Structure 1
Amino acid sequence: MAEIGLRERKKQRMYRDVSDIAIGLFLEKGFDQVSVAEVAAAAEISKPTLFRYFPAKEDLVLHRFADHETESARLVAERPEGRTPAGALRERFLSGLAGGDPVTGLCDVPEVLAFHRLLYGTPSLVARAYAYQERSEAALAAALGGGLDARLAAGQVIAVQRVLALDNWRRIVDGEPVAVIRPDAVAAAGRAFDRLTAACPELATPQPPACQPGPPAPDASESR
């Protein structure tokens, strides 16, 4: 078991290191001006090895989103008793706004802003990001019970989170301070999740209590 853990840690480190090297080159020279061969050379690996980890050049950038693909689904699946899916998702987004989580768009750290400029300023990256969003939707739909209604609800959740984050980022880029944006962002998130809750019954269903063990079965010998 320890050997498997070490192998997985090495794999994750490879993902992170190569992605960081690639993003550094893209920020310096531009996404379209850097070849995959140049990234592989800088990371001191072969192109075939790079493509084993990153099937497309865009994945070198979007790997940073991979850790968040199933976050909404996990929040819904692991929500405490009595909590609705919308409530769990709202709490997480509001917590992200309070903490300046880059996923919410409300983050003015220069490195994060540069990354978002690279992402939103590169059409192929924006297009590739939809694949990550589709996987997030699929995971969330499964956590909501599956079926068309669950997929519709999941699609709306992912879209709302994306639009809220993009609006926050654009306001920062336009020069507004985070302290000015945050109250509006919190209010907007509240309105958005209220609408989601009202529109999607799947998001308004509380987590049922955990199953309690029933009474022990009678001893067969006692009935003789």
Structure 2
Amino acid sequence: MVEEKKAEPSLRERKKRATRQRISNVATALFVERGFDEVTVAEVARAADVSAMTVFNYFPRKEDLFLDRIPEAVETFTEAVRHRGPAESPFTALRTLALQLLDEQHPLGGLHDDFTHFWQIVIDSPALSARAREAVEEVEEALARTFAETAPELPDPHLAAALTVAAYRSVYVTTARRLLAGERATAVADEYRARMEAAFDALEGVFGTA
């Protein structure tokens, strides 16, 4: 696997990303203040000083205003596989990414005391909970395509993707539940890391890529 250098985004793309982030930030503030189900897209548009059509251009569904990292999750995990080193297995690349997200306290890593309020809002909204489950499926499908394209040594890329996502989700959700129950991130960090390492050890063992 040859590592490719990613092109820097254009000024137009940077402006679009900034607008998207601003709309999401405004929406999130409203959802936190009043509850997801109590805020309309029209209200988000007015608060962000854009049209409702502009909101939908960036976020096809209201749920995506709050779960705005779904595209980032798909890109982050697939790009880790696609741009891995020549001697790296897909699982080694994803392990490195998972531990990097943990060390950076990135939202996709799931280990920070401040994330609990976000998770509670998702839990309290059936619409958000359903969209979160769909997001997991989107990551799985994208990984399966990327495995098929870049890892011909894997006999079943769809199974590999399903097991990878299930393993990652298990570690993430278990940790999230502990934080929601009142434990501090620092108290569970070592176990989180150990469980993530064990998950990828198991994946590499199953698929013979260790």
TM-score (norm 2): 0.85
Q: Which moved more, 1:28-37 or 1:38-47?
A: 38-47
Structure 2 counterparts to residues 13-162 of structure 1, below 5 A = 13-108=18-113, 110=114, 112-145=115-148, 149-162=156-169
Equivalent residues, number: 198
How far apart in 2 are the matches of 1:68 and 1:117? 20
What percentage of residue pairs aligned between the two structures are identical?
36
How far apart in 1 are the matches of 2:101 and 2:109? 6
The structure-2 alpha-carbon separation of the partners of 1:148 and 1:118, relative to structure 1 and needing over 3 Å to count, comes to farther
Match of 1:187, as an amino acid?
Answer: A
How far apart in 2 are the matches of 1:62 and 1:48? 19
CA RMSD, Structure 1 to Structure 2 (Å): 2.1
How far apart in 1 are the matches of 2:12 and 2:85? 33
How far apart in 1 are the matches of 2:16 and 2:56? 14
Match of 1:117, as an amino acid?
Answer: Q
Query: Which digits, 9 at most, give the CA deviation of each residue in 1:1-20, with x for residues without a partner?
Result: xxx92222221111101111
Q: Does 1:200 align with 2:203?
A: no
- Displacement of 1:181 in angstroms is 0.6
Q: Does 1:190 align with 2:197?
A: yes
How far apart in 2 are the matches of 1:59 and 1:121? 16
Query: Which digits, 9 at most, give the CA deviation of each residue in 1:189-212, with x for residues without a partner?
Result: 1221122122235xx27xxxxxxx
Match of 2:32, as an amino acid?
Answer: L
Larger Rg: 1
- List alignment gaps of at least 5 residues for structure 1: 206-224
Structure 2 counterparts to residues 161-176 of structure 1, below 5 A = 161-176=168-183
How far apart in 2 are the matches of 1:94 and 1:6? 31
Structure 2 counterparts to residues 4-15 of structure 1, below 5 A = 5-15=10-20
Match of 2:103, as an amino acid?
Answer: A
Query: SS of 1:63's equivalent?
Result: coil
How far apart in 1 are the matches of 2:148 and 2:60? 30
TM-score (norm 1): 0.80
Moved over 4 A (4+): none
How far apart in 2 are the matches of 1:31 and 1:138? 27
Query: Which digits, 9 at most, give the CA deviation of each residue in 1:160-217, with x for residues without a partner?
Result: 212211111211121222222111111111221122122235xx27xxxxxxxxxxxx
- Displacement of 1:148 in angstroms is 8.1
- List alignment gaps of at least 5 residues for structure 2: 1-8
